[in-house]
Amino acid sequence: MNNSVMIQIPGTTANCGPGFDAIGIACTVYNDFELTFHDSSRLVIEVDGEGKETIPTDEKNIAYQAVLDLLRKINHQIPGMTIKMFNRIPLSRGLGSSAAAIVAGLVAANELTGQSLSKQQLLDIATSIEGHPDNVAPAIYGGVTINVCRDGATECLRIIPPKPLLMVVAVPDFILSTKAARQVLPKQVPLQDAVFNVSRSALLTGAFCTGEYRHLSAAMDDRLHQPYRQQLVPGMPEVLRAAFDAGAFGSALSGAGPCLIAFCDQNADHIGQCMVDAFQANGITASCMVLSIDTDGAKRI
């Protein structure tokens, strides 16, 4: 049995507008995660890159907890371990950093213990830890994933769109925890809003399957979460509008925010600059990342 493994895990953008807790995409921004088991009982966690100052380096670390969850699941003894991570996924911004940490811990521990669990089993464990499947599924499988929770398991359909798609992410310089962004959501919604989202989610899935991205303008509209979260992201309507005016097919809140994401197939840098400028006009400093779809998901490197 090898006692050390290195995993690369992609960031993810969830919801894509209407697909709240259901649709997610793996993106070409990656964390590196190294797990080593050793004989001593010590736990060592070293964090570099994003979150270096804030991510816990003790038992509270969620990647470490995911390693423990997997070891307990397969009745493996808990050894001493060293975790080294280099993070490029911005924290608490809506690009799935927590999902990446959970998936990293699960995949690394599974690799070190003989790969006894399937991707489906890892997905089910990851979903139960994260609480929703739309980030952990694409982090595991790559691509665009449509995710349905049923009878305690997560059913995941992975799509690789037939035409290239770029994702322009405007990253504002403030954080918003997913927990806080879920607390502003209502417990119930009007039937017409549910119908609105059902039709847009179906159109969105069809656009990804066929590459008919001209539908994304209508397909990325949402009434289930964005109207409530807008108050948490200054300038959100203006930034989304700026992306569209600059030529994006469509735009939305990335995950629970505060990142805003636009989809296009050209002029990505220009669209990004327009989004950053629109944030700036609303008093928010932001930077821009141009990403494409990661098709591999978490993998050993």
Ligand X SMILES: N[C@@H](CCOP(=O)(O)O)C(=O)O
Ligand Y SMILES: Nc1ncnc2c1ncn2[C@@H]1O[C@H](COP(=O)(O)OP(=O)(O)O)[C@@H](O)[C@H]1O
Q: Report, in Å, the least distance between residue 185 CB and ligand X.
A: 8
Considering Cα of 66, then 32, then 252, then 209, what sign does the dihedral take?
negative
Mask for 131-150, x = binds ligand X (CB under 6 A): -x-xx---------------
Q: Which of 143, 255, 258, 297 is close enough to bind ligand Y by CB under 6 A?
A: 255
Residues 25-54 within binding reach of ligand Y (CB under 6 A): 31, 51
Render 215-277 in DSSP notation, one character per residue. GHHHHT--SSSHHHHGGGSTTHHHHHHHHHHTT-SEEEE-TTSS-EEEEESS-HHHHHHHHHH
**Does 10 participate in binding ligand Y (rule CB under 6 A)?**
no
Q: How many residues are listed for the chain in this entry? A: 301
**Does 178 participate in binding ligand Y (rule CB under 6 A)?**
yes
- H or E element: which one contains 5? strand 4-15
Residues 192-221 within binding reach of ligand Y (CB under 6 A): none
Select from 17, 21, 14 the least CA-distant residue to 248. 17
Q: Which of 18, 90, 94, 172 is close enough to bind ligand X by CB under 6 A?
A: 94
Beta strand 144-150 with 80-87 is unpaired
Which of these ranges, 83-91, 107-115, 207-215, 233-241, lies near ligand Y under the rule CB under 6 A?
Answer: 83-91
**Does 133 participate in binding ligand Y (rule CB under 6 A)?**
no
Render 89-156 in DSSP notation, one character per residue. SPTTSSS-HHHHHHHHHHHHHHHHTT--S-HHHHHHHHHHHHSSSTTHHHHHH-SEEEEEEETTEEEE
Could you say which of ligand X, ligand Y, none residue 134 binds, taking C-beta under 5 to 8 angstroms by partner kind? ligand X
**Does 127 participate in binding ligand Y (rule CB under 6 A)?**
no
**Does 15 participate in binding ligand X (rule CB under 6 A)?**
yes
Q: Which three-class secondary structure state does DSSP give residue 31?
A: strand
Q: Which of 16, 29, 66, 95 is close enough to bind ligand X by CB under 6 A?
A: 95
**Does 258 participate in binding ligand Y (rule CB under 6 A)?**
no
Binding site for ligand Y (CB under 6 A): 31, 51, 55, 61-63, 85, 87, 91-99, 101, 177-178, 255
Query: Known binding site for ATP: residues?
Result: 90-100
